[in-house]
Amino acid sequence: MQEQKSATLIQRIADMQEQEAISLAREMLDQGYDPIALLGHCREAMEIVGARYEKGEYFLPELMLAGEVLSAIGSLAKPLVQQRSLSMRDAGTVVIGTVHGDLHDIGKNIVTFMLDINGYNVVDLGIDVPVESFIASIREHKPQVVGLSGFLTVAFGSMKETIDAIAAAGFRDGLKIMIGGGQVDETVRNFTGADAFGLNAMEAISLCKGWIKG
Amino acid sequence: MPIPDLIIVGDRINPGFKSTNALIENEDIAGLQALAVRQVQAGAHYLDVTIGQRGSDDPQFLGEVIKALQDAVEVPLCFDYPNLAVQETCLKAYDPAKAGGRKPIVNSLAETRMEMLELLKIRPFEAVIMASEYLDGGVPKPARRCEDVAGVARRLSDVLIRDHGFAAREIFVDITINSLVSDTRGLTRMALDAIRQIRRDPALRGVHVIGGLTNIGNMLPPLEIDGVRLRHIMESAFLTVAIPLGFDTVMGTPWNPFVILPADDVVLQTFKEVTELTGMDAIRRLRKLWAT
């Protein structure tokens, strides 16, 4: 019975049935379903969404809507996991934000969510983040990975500026930097001086897993 | 229906287009000239020119490109750099005689960079003024309300016309067009409202209103409707709504099919409804175009 519900939940998220997915998640949690397992289903659903995006069946709006469903379900489930999960959050620390000059946060929010449910301690600085905020956060949280997000082409200049400033502050050698956003590629990675780029949240997870070995 | 009197500034000489970036990296001057000719043949009245970072690093190459473009086409050029030093290179390389005596366009001036007016010492020019940022008590702010956009347009135009002898028709107010696919903040609605407000201001009578049209369709699904790419139909949808409000100059790709769409066109309907919405509701409405 529960297995059936889990499969339905994954399918509804993956098929963009937003309200149906959220109400089913609420129902499952109300009936005492393990919130960590539920977040795991969100991750599975997001992998399906990502695969459909890769195949050209889904586009940016589907990623945005899936991100919205994820955050709605996340806000239902997270209060229930807090006590238990704090102890297992040792996969590593990631500081993430949308660089200054850019206000887009959909992709970043999905990456934050996915890192979060994969056990990373994520410090999300939000959008239009000044260089100094990244530096201050790195000083405070000592992350292994920094994620810079940006959708606009003007963001590439801000990414470079941010990475240069991280280097000037003496933190560059001690951490890995990944960039992401709709239009990043190897040319942009090279221009900004990042260690890697990713085109979706799954790539962000595998980059972090590769860099932070347990 | 094609659009009479629409001014087109061809936007292809920009490394943001991957094929153009390759021409710049390979220093393929003949290829850049062919791209210029193709745009003019497709109806461009001006050509926007930027070779990206290379322009700041290698002014000599930028100068060569400009001279070569002017050898190939007779339309005036529009130099796309927010930077005084690079604009100097551009204006010095530009020869009005090769453009029938016409002035180039400096793209762009902004309230945050009025030092660009020093360029008038080199030669007279027409100007794009960027209305997407303004100074609030000396602090740069992004213009998020249509009053901000119309206000900065008015202040900058006043300075150009009153203090520097510009004619109104030599001013192009850039209202900034954003990508519709991620417009959860009603920025497209704001741009449309700003066009209306600019046209109601008698002090701005005669100025042009320009926008980077290619942005509107950025990241839309690569779908086709009746053989036309969705992003191109969306460009026409913007024009269909914006031209009656007073938009008159496209920064865009001249061979895209700019047309006024019939009232019952499904993309036009979608555009109108999406621009009345904000947040994820805008995205959900847009998605109805292809999802059932």
Nearest beta carbon to residue B284 from set A60, A65, A104: A65
**Span B36-46, mean pLDDT?**
97
A72 contacts chain B (CB < 8 A): no
- Answer yes or no: is B133 within a domain: yes
Token reading at A174? 């001690």
**Span B146-164, mean pLDDT?**
96
**CB–CB of B55/B64 below 8 Å?**
no
Q: What percent of chain B has pLDDT over 90?
A: 89
- Answer yes or no: is B255 within a domain: yes
pTM of the model: 0.85
Candidates 3.40.80.10, 1.10.1240.10, 1.10.260.40, 3.40.50.360; correct CATH number of A2-84? 1.10.1240.10
Calpha distance B288→A117 (Å, rounded): 31
- Answer yes or no: is B2 within a domain: no
Does the pLDDT of residue B1 top 70, yes or no? Answer: no
Domain around B269: 7-291
Q: Determine the pLDDT at residue B24.
A: 97
- Answer yes or no: is B40 within a domain: yes
Token reading at B39? 């745009």
Does the pLDDT of residue A5 top 60, yes or no? Answer: yes
Does the pLDDT of residue A87 top 70, yes or no? Answer: no
Task: Flag if A59 and B181 touch (Cβ within 8 Å).
Answer: yes
- Answer yes or no: is B98 within a domain: yes
Query: Based on the structure, what is the number of domains in chain B?
Result: 1
Q: What percent of chain A has pLDDT over 90?
A: 59
What is the second-level CATH architecture of the domain A89-211?
3-Layer(aba) Sandwich (3.40)
Calpha distance B181→B201 (Å, rounded): 31
Task: Flag if A60 and B185 touch (Cβ within 8 Å).
Answer: no
Q: Determine the pLDDT at residue A84.
A: 54
Does the pLDDT of residue A83 top 60, yes or no? Answer: no
Residue A214's pLDDT band (boundaries 50, 70, 90)?
low
Q: What is the CATH number of the domain that holds B256?
A: 3.20.20.20
Q: Determine the pLDDT at residue A90.
A: 76
Mean pLDDT over the full length of chain B:
95
Choice between A183 and A214, residue whose per-residue pLDDT is larger: A183
Nearest beta carbon to residue A68 from set B21, B185, B280: B280
**CB–CB of B220/B181 below 8 Å?**
yes
- Answer yes or no: is B86 within a domain: yes
Hey, where are the domains in chain A? 2-84, 89-211
pLDDT digits (tens, 9 = 90+) for B118-130: 999 999 999 999 9
Calpha distance A152→B223 (Å, rounded): 22
Nearest beta carbon to residue A182 from set B21, B219, B286: B219
Q: Determine the pLDDT at residue A88.
A: 60
Q: What percent of chain B has pLDDT over 70?
A: 100
Q: Which of A5-9, A61-65, A87-91 has the lowest mean pLDDT?
A: A87-91
Task: Flag if B182 and A59 touch (Cβ within 8 Å).
Answer: no
Percent helix, strand, coil in chain A (nearest 5)?
65, 10, 25
